[in-house]
Amino acid sequence: MASSDLMYGIEQLDEARPNYRQAQDYYDGTVPEIFASARLRRALEDTGVDFRLNFSKTPVDAVVDRLEIAAITGADDAHTQLISQVWAGNGMDLEALDLHRRACTLGDAYLIVLPTEDDNGTVVGVEMHYNSPQTVRAIYSQENPREVEYFIKQWCETRTLGKVQRAELLYWDRIERWTTKPGADGKQAGDWIHWLADPEDDAPEDADSWIISHDYGRPPVFHFRTARPYGRPEHIGAYGPQNAINKLSITHMGTVDYQGFPQRYALTDAATTDTSDLEPGDFDDFPPDDASSGPTDTGDDSSLKAGPGEVWMLRGFKTVGQLDAAQPGVFLDPILFEVRAMAQITTTPLHLFDPQGDVPSGESIRAKEAPFVKKIRNRQLSFGATWRDVFTFTLQLLGIQGATVDVRWVPAATVDDQTGWETVGEKIKNGVPRKQALMEAGYREEQVDEWLSGVDDAELARRVDILATLADSAQKLGAATALGVVSGDQAQALLNGALADIELLAEGEART
């Protein structure tokens, strides 16, 4: 019979899965529209047409785009080389991006790290695999919420006798393997039995093969999360606005046919109207085409034709007219409001929802992005701590105990405009150390060290002034291009020429 740890872990997984599925649905844009009227919902669902505008994925993608690892290094070159080999061997350039995206979408994600051994049992490598929080869950101590008691992993396999559930409990000193009896759904403790290394062999020496002992010093599972204990989807605040956007956009599309082809009416006077000679289909702007296999409208149609020289003969009708469809602004204006609300709730800059709109620049964009940049740095702290644990453990598996690992990120924001460089220059002039001023501008320490190598304060100030002037020129050329004074190609050629001149000047100074 299953242990209490197994059943508790399965219960925790079952309770968490609906929220994960909801988060994924909102990211994928597959959430159905919510209607107060069941009849209207059925009518629009029957069309089979999807008019959803999925803005709720933007808060996730905006964060992931700025979670770029610059380097993971060890205490010396040998350690760094091992880290690079493991990173490349597991394709982590892509896997890490996917892991960050899943963690930001669902709130958390897991990475399982295990050694690979040769025939002699010698560790020759390390394998890393992303695991979804829908199949893996950390069980934290009630007494100390920062301490993991164990991890559970549960999945389904199709075997010869049918589908079975598999489960592993990963402890600090062992891994327990469980499986369900054929035909059991795993909801009851009695459904579970030990998963032996060779289920067909009941020999006494294999009776304990469902337990795999290890000396890793910790479970080989690492929990990436946006918050504690289990994270929070980056776009959870977008659920409400996205529901409103879905409703507005789909309902708007329902009125488009009426805007192109308005609903018409003809009022009759009972005393004078004679419609006995009207034929079915006399009021249809689109008469059926016998050669067409598509759907036809068998309602009343019209013999009246619009065109030069045409004469409309109306008999017996008191008045005619049309019913105007709702104006697009009734739907589009609220959609813009919901997008702004989504940006505010999720701490995502509004211009990231509409990159073609008015994008702020310089000091304005830094002020608007300040809360967002702070959020990015918090994610870097959280994910970076987990990545350090991952590669400290990796080096331990490869025989290096107590290794020191450093994780460096591409800056969440950097100075690249005139005002920003002028601020850097003023800081240096007023006594802020050169290195500190450049790092506060968002540049990595190794970049700053390389730039400052052999550069005195006067030379640095001159370079900062050049960058500020160049940024100012680029900004003004952009305005001139927008006004049509110069073309985009001309502006690009001017900037390229200026950059080439600066490079030649720098090379000449280096030679002297």
Question: Stretch 46-56: mean pLDDT, rounded?
Answer: 70
| 115-119, 219-223, 251-255: least confident range | 251-255
Q: Burial code of 116-131, b = ≥16 C-beta within 10 A, e = fewer? A: eeeeeeeeebbebebb
In angstroms, the first-to-last Cα distance of the chain is 81
pTM comes to 0.73
CA 217 from centroid of its chain's CA atoms: 34
Residue 394: exposure state from Cβ atoms within 10 A (0-12, 13-18, ≥19): buried
Q: Are 137 and 17 in contact (CB under 8 A)?
A: no
pLDDT-derived band at 287 (thresholds 50, 70, 90) equals low
pLDDT-derived band at 164 (thresholds 50, 70, 90) equals very high
Q: Burial code of 333-372, b = ≥16 C-beta within 10 A, e = fewer? A: eebeebbebbbebbbbbbbbbeeeeeeeeeeebbebbeeb
Rounded Cα gap, residues 420 and 433, in angstroms: 17
Rg (Cα) of the chain, in Å, rounded? Answer: 33
- What pLDDT score does 488 carry? 75
- What pLDDT score does 385 carry? 96
Task: Kindly report, residue by residue over 210-231, the tens digit of the pLDDT.
Answer: 999 999 999 999 999 999 999 9
* Dihedral pair phi/psi, residue 259, rounded to 5°: -75, -40
Rounded Cα gap, residues 80 and 86, in angstroms: 10
Q: Are 434 and 454 in contact (CB under 8 A)?
A: no
- What does the DSSP assignment read for 195-225? --SSTT---GGGTTTTEEE--SSS-SEEEEE
Q: Between 37 and 57, whose confidence is greater?
A: 57
CA atoms lying within 13 Å on the CB side of residue 306: 1
Q: Are 265 and 322 in contact (CB under 8 A)?
A: yes
Q: Taking the CB of residue 83, how many other CB atoms lie within 10 A of it?
A: 21
Rounded Cα gap, residues 124 and 211, in angstroms: 23
Rounded Cα gap, residues 282 and 300, in angstroms: 5
Rounded Cα gap, residues 193 and 176, in angstroms: 11
Rounded Cα gap, residues 138 and 389, in angstroms: 16
Q: Which DSSP state fits 142?
A: S
Reduced to 3 states (helix: H, G, I; strand: E, B; else coil), residue 448 is helix
Nearest one of 210, 214, 234, 215 to 224, comparing CA atoms:
234
Nearest one of 261, 265, 259 to 330, comparing CA atoms:
259
- What pLDDT score does 411 carry? 83
The two three-digit tokens of residue 56, written as one number: 């709720």
Residue the block writes with tokens 């629009």 = 44
Question: Stretch 458-463: mean pLDDT, rounded?
Answer: 65
